[in-house]
Amino acid sequence: MITSISEKIGGLNALLLDNPSPILRKQNKIKTIHNSLKIEGNTLSEIQITALIDNTPVLGPEKDILEVLNAIKVYNALDDYQAYNESSFLKAHKTLMQGLVEMPGKYRTKGVGIIKGDVVKHLAPPPENVPFLMQALFMYLKSDDELPLIKSCIFHYEMEFIHPFLDGNGRMGRLWQTLILKKQYPIFTSLPFETLISETQTEYYQALAASDKAGKSTPFIAYMLEVINASLAEKLTRANRTMNQEDRLQYFVAQSPNEFSRKDYMKVFKDLSTASASRDLKKGLALNLFTKKGDKRLTNYHLR
């Protein structure tokens, strides 16, 4: 599985997809926030999250809106967090859970457990053990004995097992795995594998439970490597697909903001010549996908 993932990362890097356009980065951020919070029961849609990113008010449950606004702050500052630093970890939780829990950014001082129905599915370690366990987990991260792919999975599982916070453990586990991977492989900045976790949510919780039962993280590592591998495969397939003029236009319109320029279009399709981009946009006008204002280099396009 590691070999397969490494080959796909190499393929994507060769296509220069580790440096996506601002439009694609924004779309990836929206998908990541939507799917990570959806797992926790957030009801806001991608359209509503897009509106909040664009500072447009939306109607929805106050708690759900606050969760999204907090997540936007965290993902906008992703480069400011240090994956192997415990203080940075606590700072991220404080931003992510501000206004949602009693002590954002602080480890719990109460016992917690996960109960489904009448059954206790997981009883977390006592609160007095949490600081020591988290310190040991970050010491493990700093060791050079494991591949980052494996480290990221183990950290995610062990953090969920320790359950260091009263709330927000799931979203912190997914966020921090992304940070650990991003440190070694920049491609993970633009790979919202939270989407696949959201689509395989039952398997996600089964893998956590299986690792609890086994007393080791192996089942969860296997699950997460499958998710990462599938996410990379999907991205590579899309990247390698030959797109004709209408394919490019449909893809761009689905990803783009309301207003854009030819330069924005060429940032998405990096190998396209200026003349080809102009022909594409002329075709888009003929298909009534958007309108235009201005002339030559000052031309701006507006989606219909």
- Beta-carbon neighbour count of residue 40 at 10 Å? 14
Is 278 found in the same domain as 200?
no
The confidence score (pLDDT) of residue 250 equals 77
Which pLDDT score, from 0 to 100, does residue 219 have?
A: 96
Predicted pLDDT of residue 272: 77
133 and 231 together in one domain: yes
Domain-located, residue 114: no
Residue 134 token pair:
């988290």
155 in the same domain as 37: yes
Tell me, yes or no, whether 261 and 235 share the same domain. no
pLDDT tens for each residue of 119-140: 767 788 999 999 999 999 999 9
Give yes or no: residues 58 and 74 share one domain: yes
End of a domain among 201, 225, 240? Answer: 240
pLDDT of residue 246: 78
Is residue 47 a part of any domain in this protein?
yes
Residues 175 and 87 in one domain: yes
Residues 163 and 96 in one domain: yes
Residue 66 belongs to a domain: yes
| Strand boundaries in the chain, DSSP class E | 113-116, 119-123, 259-260, 290-293, 300-303
Give 155-168 as a DSSP string. HHHHHHHH--SSS-
CATH (domain of 42): 1.10.3290.10
Q: How far apart are the first and last CA of the chain?
A: 44
Structural domain contains residue 58: yes
The answer to whether 267 and 26 are in contact (CB under 8 A) is no
- Do 53 and 30 form a contact (C-beta atoms < 8 A)? yes
With a CB cutoff of 8 Å and minimum separation 6, the contacts of 196 are 227, 230, 231
150 and 260 share one domain:
no
The model's pLDDT over 21-46, given as tens digits with 9 standing for 90+, comes to 566 678 888 888 998 899 889 999 99
| Domains held by the chain: number | 2
pLDDT value of position 127: 94
| Of 137, 219, 188, 201, the residue nearest 28 (C-alpha) | 188
Tens place of pLDDT per residue across the chain (304 aa): 999 898 888 877 766 544 555 666 788 888 889 988 998 899 999 999 999 999 999 999 999 999 999 999 999 998 899 999 999 999 999 999 999 998 899 999 998 877 666 776 778 899 999 999 999 999 999 987 889 999 999 999 999 999 999 999 999 999 999 999 988 888 887 776 788 888 888 999 899 999 999 999 999 999 999 999 988 888 777 665 556 787 778 778 876 678 888 888 887 776 678 888 899 999 999 988 899 998 877 889 998 8
Contacts of 251 by beta carbon, 8 Å cutoff, 6+ apart = 243, 268
Cβ distance 169 to 160 under 8 Å?
Answer: yes
**pLDDT value for 255:** 65
The pLDDT score that the predictor gives to residue 183 is 84
pLDDT for the residue 206:
93
Q: Are residues 232 and 251 in the same domain?
A: no
Return the pLDDT at 11. 74
* Helical H segments across the chain, by residue range: 2-14, 22-39, 46-53, 62-76, 86-97, 130-142, 148-162, 169-184, 194-199, 201-214, 218-240, 245-255, 262-268, 274-286
Amino acid at 22: P
Closest Cα to residue 78, out of 29, 150, 11?
A: 29
In a domain, 84, yes or no: yes
Q: Say yes or no: 270 and 168 in one domain.
A: no
pLDDT score for 153: 95
Residue 260, strand partner residues:
301
pTM of this structure: 0.75
What is the residue range of 293's domain? 246-303
